[in-house]
Structure 1
Amino acid sequence: MQGVPAGFSSTALANYLTAEGEQSSTVGTFVSLSSLPWALQFAWGPLIDRFQSSPMGRRRPWVIGAQTCAFLASLGLLFVRDPPKKYIKTLVIAFFIHSIFASIQDASVDAQAITTIPLNERGRINGFMRGGFLVGISLGAAGLAWMLRNWSYLGAASVNSLFLLIFTVITFFIKENSDDQLLSRRCRKGYGKRRPYENRHNYSILRLFIELFKGLFAFQSIRLFIPILLVYACQSAFIRAYNSSQFTTYMSLVNLCDLAGAFVSGHLQQHLRANTIGLGCAALIIIAFVVVTLSVWHDRRRITLVSVAPQES
Structure 2
Amino acid sequence: MKEKKLNISKRLGKNLSDNAFTRYVTFSALYAAQGIPEGITYFALPAWLAMNGKSAMEIAALVSVMLIPWSFKVLIAPVMDRFTLLAMGRKRPWVIFGQVGLIFSFLYLGMVPDPLNNLSGLMIAGFFVNFFGAFQDVATDGMAVEVIPANEQARANGLMWGSKTIGVSASLILGTWLINNLGFSLAVSLLSLAIVIIMIFPIYFRERPGEKLMPWTSGKASMDSKRTQLRSWTHIFKSLYRVVSLRASVILCIGVFILGIMYGMVDTLLPIFSIQELGWTNTYFSNVLSLTAVIGGFLGMFIGGYLVDYFGKIKMLTIYLVIITSVIASFAFMANLWDILFISIAFILCYTTLYTFLCIAVFASAMHLCWKTVAATQFTLYMALSNTGRSVGAGVLGIVKTNFDWETVFLIIAVIPFLLIILIQFINLKRHRIVVKSFDVIAQKITVKTVLNGKDMKPRIAEKQKL
1:198 aligns with 2:229: no
Deviation at 1:197, TM superposition (A): 3.5
Deviation at 1:60, TM superposition (A): 0.4
Deviation at 1:205, TM superposition (A): 3.0
Q: What do the CA deviations read for 1:226-256 (whole angstroms, capped 9, x no partner)?
A: 5513422441564333316277166347624
CA distance in 1: counterparts of 2:83 and 2:232, whole angstroms: 10
Match of 1:273 among 294, 309, 312: 312
**TM-score normalized by structure 1?**
0.82
Q: What do the CA deviations read for 1:80-134 (whole angstroms, capped 9, x no partner)?
A: 24x4213322222112112111111111111111211121111111111101111
Match of 2:105 among 73, 98, 110: 73
Match of 1:134 among 165, 176, 185: 165
The amino acid of 2:293's aligned partner reads N
The amino acid of 1:59's aligned partner reads K
Deviation at 1:175, TM superposition (A): 1.5
**Structure whose residues are more often helix by fraction:** 2
Give the 3 Å change call, closer, same or farther, for CA 293–148 of structure 1 in structure 2. closer
Give the 3 Å change call, closer, same or farther, for CA 117–194 of structure 1 in structure 2. closer
Match of 1:124 among 141, 150, 155: 155
- Greater Cα offset, 214-223 or 59-68: 214-223
CA distance in 1: counterparts of 2:129 and 2:102, whole angstroms: 5
In the TM superposition, what are the counterparts of 1:3-18 in structure 2 within 5 Å? 3-18=35-50
Matched with 1:160 is 191
- Greater Cα offset, 235-244 or 139-148: 235-244
Deviation at 1:23, TM superposition (A): 2.1
Give the 3 Å change call, closer, same or farther, for CA 194–9 of structure 1 in structure 2. closer
1:225 aligns with 2:253: no
Deviation at 1:76, TM superposition (A): 1.1
Matched with 1:57 is 89
Give the 3 Å change call, closer, same or farther, for CA 212–262 of structure 1 in structure 2. farther
Match of 2:66 among 34, 57, 60: 34
1:284 aligns with 2:347: no
Deviation at 1:201, TM superposition (A): 5.9
What percent of counterpart residues are identical?
23
CA distance in 2: counterparts of 1:257 and 1:37, whole angstroms: 29
Give the 3 Å change call, closer, same or farther, for CA 101–195 of structure 1 in structure 2. same
Give the 3 Å change call, closer, same or farther, for CA 9–58 of structure 1 in structure 2. same
Higher relative contact order (CA 8 A, sep 6+): 1
Give the 3 Å change call, closer, same or farther, for CA 65–4 of structure 1 in structure 2. same
CA distance in 1: counterparts of 2:222 and 2:42, whole angstroms: 45
- Greater Cα offset, 244-253 or 10-19: 244-253
1:2 aligns with 2:30: no
Matched with 1:100 is 131
The amino acid of 1:21's aligned partner reads G
The amino acid of 1:39's aligned partner reads S
**TM-score normalized by structure 2?**
0.57
Q: Conserved in 2, the CA contact under 8 Å of 1:47 and 1:205? A: no
1:208 aligns with 2:247: no
Q: Conserved in 1, the CA contact under 8 Å of 2:36 and 2:167? A: yes
The amino acid of 1:295's aligned partner reads M
Deviation at 1:78, TM superposition (A): 3.5
Give the 3 Å change call, closer, same or farther, for CA 258–84 of structure 1 in structure 2. same
Matched with 2:333 is 294
Q: What do the CA deviations read for 1:184-226 (whole angstroms, capped 9, x no partner)?
A: 2334xx65x9669425263633553465466288442145325
The amino acid of 1:198's aligned partner reads K
Equivalent residue pairs, number: 295
Q: What do the CA deviations read for 1:148-179 (whole angstroms, capped 9, x no partner)?
A: 11122222021122222222244312221231
Structure 2 unaligned regions, length at least 5 = 1-32, 339-467
- Greater Cα offset, 245-254 or 266-275: 245-254
Matched with 1:180 is 211
Structure 1 unaligned regions, length at least 5 = 300-313
Q: Conserved in 2, the CA contact under 8 Å of 1:121 and 1:270? A: no
Match of 1:114 among 133, 140, 145: 145
Give the 3 Å change call, closer, same or farther, for CA 28–226 of structure 1 in structure 2. closer
Q: What do the CA deviations read for 1:268-313 (whole angstroms, capped 9, x no partner)?
A: 23222111111211221232244134324998xxxxxxxxxxxxxx
- Greater Cα offset, 193-202 or 164-173: 193-202
Matched with 2:439 is none
Match of 1:259 among 287, 297, 320: 297
- Greater Cα offset, 275-284 or 285-294: 285-294
SS of match in other structure, 2:310? coil
Deviation at 1:62, TM superposition (A): 0.7
